[in-house]
Amino acid sequence: MKKILYILSIVLLMGACDEGFEELNVDPTKPSQVPVTSKLTAAQLFTSGERYENWRANLIYQSTMMQHYATTAGYWSGDKYTWNQGYASSLIDRYYENPVKSVEDILYQLDQDGSPAEMKAITRILRVFIFSRLTDLYGDIPYSEAGKAVTEGILQPKYDPQSEIYADMLKELEESAAALGTGTSGFGSADLFYGGNQAQWKRFANSMMLRLGLRLIKVDPAAAQAWATKAIAGGVMESNADIAFVPHTVGPEGVNQNGIGEVFQADNNQRMSKTFIDFLQDDPRLPILASRFSDGSTDPADLKGLPNGLDLEMLMADTGEENIDEYAEPNRNFMTRRDSPMIFQTYAEVEFMLAECAVRWGLAGGDPEPHYNAGVRAAMKMYEIDSPDAAIADADIDAYLAAKPFDAANALEQINTQYWAATYLNEYEAFSNWRRTGFPVLVPVVYPGNETGGTIPRRLTYSVGDQANNPDNYAEAISRQGPDLLTTRVWWDTE
């Protein structure tokens, strides 16, 4: 695995530099191709992302809006609902430049090579994941024509309505899951998610179907139920062994490293939000996730969270404190290293969704409590992926569940608040699920000069580059979806 990561930069360099060179015994009428296996590795690393978009879209905006983090630093725009156009468009800028182009190129090459259907199915599932992040964060986006500048000469792709994007993504997951068997795909070890294990990709496809199906709950409850039913019947994740993640290494640089970990090498301004630390009281995850900035203590008694929406002057006025050194920061030993895994979807999330399906429709066996308990247990156990030192004892989990048992009277809030805790650092999913369910109940901040009137944003804003380079399609999207503002709701986030 590490060998693949280390050679990736060389492979990509070779791919970028081969134009104009001809080798003996190579048909000069056909361009040289980087192996499609190496392209999949690259696409998965690009999907994990670089420091740029992980810093801006994931952390500066979404992690603070979702009150996992807080900060007094003014440039952390999401903490105070201010607008930095470049930060807000960072994911759309980088994803179209890298993973979108990569995955479309892979699909084109697989067709040209006549590759097995299972390889195309895996690529289609990855493509859905990439576009689901984009459309959930921005709404209407280039989809059907995206990434086709080279293959079809489309330089100004249209923005597709999110309703149509969702219909196609769910169709893609259904068809791709059906095309997968039980053996090892032709991608083999170049597949950083599952090493080519088709059965695990199939479970991931159905788990993503469950996620996207439930996303429809406010706009089309019947469709949400139908897709959830289909996903469960197809077979979703079964254990933490099915977690979809990309492993990373400390070197050589760039996408080989965890982009979030790179941020924490450069920025010390973030602290754990008071909202999150308050939730984690009497939770065995607290000393795993947090440590005191001043001395690294992980004693729960030493860990306090920073309120959101304050600058240093406001902090001084409210608390008398001149700095944020005594507040909890992320525990630098776990989940925030450059060689930490980047997690995309977890078994814990799936169990919480199954619990919700049982509450809403009597699906997944009809009893939500076993799924809720399994979700909590999986969420507490999953940090072992990062380090064996992050292991939480079964007895501690048992004690937590005994002290805070499933509450049928407040089931949806309890389930989705645990979902929020389990998606810490995957802030794309935390933000989407909060918009879908309204949980956890977050108290908005009212910072002077904020852009939203003191309400939590509902989306991020489009790229300024596309406004200049694709103005007609951009204008059509705005006319259909609404103003390009932080407060405009995407299609599935209806009031």
Q: How confident is the model at residue 253 (pLDDT cuts 50, 70, 90)?
A: confident
The alpha carbons of the chain give a radius of gyration, in whole angstroms, of: 22
Q: Specify the pTM.
A: 0.94
Provide, rounded to the nearest whole percent, the portion of the chain with pLDDT above 90. Answer: 91
Q: How confident is the model at residue 470 (pLDDT cuts 50, 70, 90)?
A: very high
**Cα 163 from Cα 258, distance rounded (Å):** 32
Q: Within 10 A of 222 (CB to CB), how many other CB atoms are there?
A: 8
Nearest to 207 by CA among 234, 167, 187: 234
Three-class DSSP category at 291 = strand
Res 27: pLDDT: 41
One-letter amino acid of 53: E
Q: Where are the alpha helices (DSSP H) in 139-220?
A: 149-152, 162-179, 198-214
Q: H-helix or E-strand containing 258? A: none
Nearest to 223 by CA among 276, 163, 267, 182: 163
Nearest to 425 by CA among 375, 374, 383: 383
Taking only the tens place, the pLDDT of each residue in 91-106 is 999 999 999 999 999 9
At residue 61, what are phi and psi to the nearest 5 degrees?
Answer: -90, -70
Q: How confident is the model at residue 32 (pLDDT cuts 50, 70, 90)?
A: low
Taking only the tens place, the pLDDT of each residue in 335-394 is 899 999 999 999 999 999 999 999 999 999 999 999 999 999 999 999 999 999 999 999
The whole-chain average pLDDT of the chain stands at 93
How big is the CA angle at 262 (ends 256 and 264), to the nearest 5 degrees?
155
Region 48-67: what's the mean pLDDT? 98
For residue 26, pLDDT beyond 60: no
For residue 8, pLDDT beyond 60: no
**Cα 73 from Cα 474, distance rounded (Å):** 32
**Cα 212 from Cα 97, distance rounded (Å):** 24
Region 485-494: what's the mean pLDDT? 98
For residue 19, pLDDT beyond 50: no
Query: Are the C-beta atoms of residues 204 and 192 closer than 8 Å to each other?
Result: no
**Both tokens assigned to 163:** 């309703």
Taking only the tens place, the pLDDT of each residue in 279-321 is 999 999 999 999 999 999 999 999 999 999 999 999 999 999 9
Count of residues in the chain: 495
For residue 31, pLDDT beyond 50: no
Region 153-176: what's the mean pLDDT? 97
Taking only the tens place, the pLDDT of each residue in 60-70 is 999 999 999 99
For residue 492, pLDDT beyond 50: yes
For residue 107, pLDDT beyond 70: yes
Nearest to 447 by CA among 308, 291, 328: 308
Taking only the tens place, the pLDDT of each residue in 203-216 is 999 999 999 999 99
Nearest to 118 by CA among 183, 37, 208: 183
What are the CA-CA distances from residue 280 to residues 68, 106, 377, 380, 469 (Å)? 11, 43, 15, 12, 46
**Cα 180 from Cα 198, distance rounded (Å):** 6
Three-class DSSP category at 183 = coil
Q: H-helix or E-strand containing 142? A: strand 141-142
For residue 3, pLDDT beyond 70: no
Three-class DSSP category at 363 = coil
Three-class DSSP category at 184 = strand
Q: Within 10 A of 371 (CB to CB), how many other CB atoms are there?
A: 23
Residue/partner pairs of 293-296 with CB below 8 Å, 24 or more apart: 293/268, 293/324, 293/325, 293/326, 293/327, 293/328, 293/329, 294/325, 294/326, 296/332
Q: How confident is the model at residue 30 (pLDDT cuts 50, 70, 90)?
A: very low
Region 262-273: what's the mean pLDDT? 96
